[in-house]
């Protein structure tokens, strides 16, 4: 079966580079499913899980936004951050979730709501990745 060469890269360097049969991710415009010989695409991504499928196995990677580029069976995901389930500190993610929820409930003027919402989405995504391991 034909495969895609997939690279997940962050500002800190590459997180993953391997071959997969399918890549699924969430772009700002909706869900994307990439198979071999997909047309070239560049799309902005949202905080979500990237699902990489090979041999009836799915690997999930938590990303916090970024871009996907598809060309010639090469998929490059440039993410602000990316973590595999084994890299996620569950306690830290739970504390970040609780902290963000408290900030959103406080409704104080000096709180940056967008930042708190972003932190909450990131924490929930990270916890979701670990739970669906």
Strands 74-79 and 57-71: antiparallel
Range with the largest mean pLDDT of 18-22, 27-31, 57-61: 18-22
If 0-12 CB within 10 Å is exposed, 13-18 middle and 19+ buried, where does residue 9 land?
Answer: middle
Do residues 58 and 64 make contact, with C-beta atoms less than 8 angstroms apart? no
What's the topology of domain 88-131?
Answer: 1.20.5
Output 98 or 112, whichever has higher pLDDT.
Answer: 98
- pLDDT-based confidence at residue 40 (cuts at 50, 70, 90): very high
- Span(s) in the chain for CATH 1.20.5.440: 88-131
Do residues 78 and 69 make contact, with C-beta atoms less than 8 angstroms apart? yes
pLDDT per residue as tens digits for the range 47-101? 999 999 999 999 999 998 899 999 999 999 999 999 887 777 778 888 888 888 8
Domain 4-83 has CATH 2.60.15.10: yes
pLDDT at residue 100 in the model: 82
pLDDT at residue 111 in the model: 56
Whole-model pTM? 0.79
d(CA 68, CA 113): 27
- pLDDT-based confidence at residue 14 (cuts at 50, 70, 90): very high
Has residue 34 got a pLDDT over 70?
yes
Positive or negative, the CA dihedral 12, 65, 132, 6 is negative
- Span(s) in the chain for CATH 2.60.15.10: 4-83
């Amino acid at each position: 079966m034909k495969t895609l060469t997939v690279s997940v890269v962050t500002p800190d360097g590459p997180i993953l580079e391997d071959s997969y049969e399918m890549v699924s991710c969430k772009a700002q415009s909706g869900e994307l499913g990439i198979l071999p010989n997909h047309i070239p695409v560049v799309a902005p991504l949202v905080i979500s899980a990237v699902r990489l499928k090979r041999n009836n196995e799915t690997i999930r990677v938590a990303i916090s936004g970024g871009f996907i580029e598809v060309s010639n069976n090469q998929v490059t995901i440039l993410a602000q951050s990316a973590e595999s389930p084994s890299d996620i500190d569950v306690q830290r993610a739970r504390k970040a979730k609780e902290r963000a929820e408290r900030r959103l409930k406080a409704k104080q003027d000096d709180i940056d709501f967008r930042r708190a919402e972003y932190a909450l989405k990131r924490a929930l995504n990270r916890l979701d990745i670990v739970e669906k391991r």
